[in-house]
Amino acid sequence: MDEIATEIGVSKTVLYRYFADKNDLVHATMQRFIETTLLPRVYGAINLDADEYQLVRAAMTEYVGTVDDDPEVYRFIMSNSAGDKSSLAEFERLFAEVVTAVLVDRAGAKGVRTDGAMLWSYVLVGGIQLATHWWTTTEKAMPRQDVIDYLTMMAWSAIEGVARAGGSPELFTSQPHVLPEIPPPAS
């Protein structure tokens, strides 16, 4: 709290008028960032009138862009969330529910079984969150657009694979799973 008070130019006493402790401050910061910045941008992306691939790409662009636009806030929340796991879990649950609703709506309309939609959503949300966290803490090992491209490729491939199997684990398991041989680029 001393460091935070010094950084924002107020006394620690002023901070304690509004926040009981550091966990309370982290919770308030996380809640504000998620409710006023992250969720509106991602919700805007998934509510576009676009095909499924474009929705996935737009969601990746907004998530990565939001984190990249406010990296200090994101790092503060993530590095201090150990004491406030319930808020982080709530945020993850909220995102997973949104992704689930989109998957059930879009995939269900195409005849894909969606029994596993909640599980798939947690895989997507967790993987994207962890990969973005890695990117923000490794001095941005690659350009923002590359992160968006790779995350989109991975997420879309997963969604497309589920759809190709009709959402059926039995059908998926019965199909051959061989990685294609890609010839090296011509010199």
The residue-averaged pLDDT of 64-68 equals 92
Compare 2 and 186 and report the one with higher pLDDT. 186
Q: What is the pLDDT of residue 28?
A: 76
pTM beyond cutoff 0.85: no
| Domain at 109, CATH number | 1.10.357
pLDDT tens digits, residue range 125-172? 999 999 999 999 887 789 999 999 999 999 999 999 999 999 999 999
| Amino acid making up residue 68 | D
Predicted local confidence at residue 80, as pLDDT:
66
Q: CA angle, 83 as apex, 80 and 85 as ends, to 5°? A: 95
Residue 177 belongs to some domain of the structure: no
Spell out the residues 6+ positions from residue 29 whose beta carbon is closer than 8 angstroms to its own.
73, 76, 77
- Within a domain: residue 5? no
**Is the distance from CB of 46 to CB of 94 less than 8 angstroms?**
no
Give domain status of residue 183, yes or no. Answer: no
Structural domain of 113: 22-58+70-168
Specify burial of residue 86 (Cβ count, 10 A radius: 0-12, 13-18, 19+): exposed
Compute the distance between CA of residue 3 and CA of residue 79 in angstroms, rounded to an integer: 15
pLDDT at 5: 61
- Please answer whether residues 42 and 62 qualify as being in contact, where contact means their C-beta atoms are separated by less than 8 angstroms: yes
- The pLDDT assigned to 141 comes to 86
The residue count for the chain: 187
Confidence of residue 20 (pLDDT cuts 50, 70, 90): low
Q: Does residue 186 sit within a domain?
A: no
Domain total in the chain? 1
Q: Could you give the percent of the chain with pLDDT greater than 70? A: 85
Asked, for residue 32, whether it belongs to a domain, the answer is yes
Q: Is 133 part of a structural domain of the chain?
A: yes
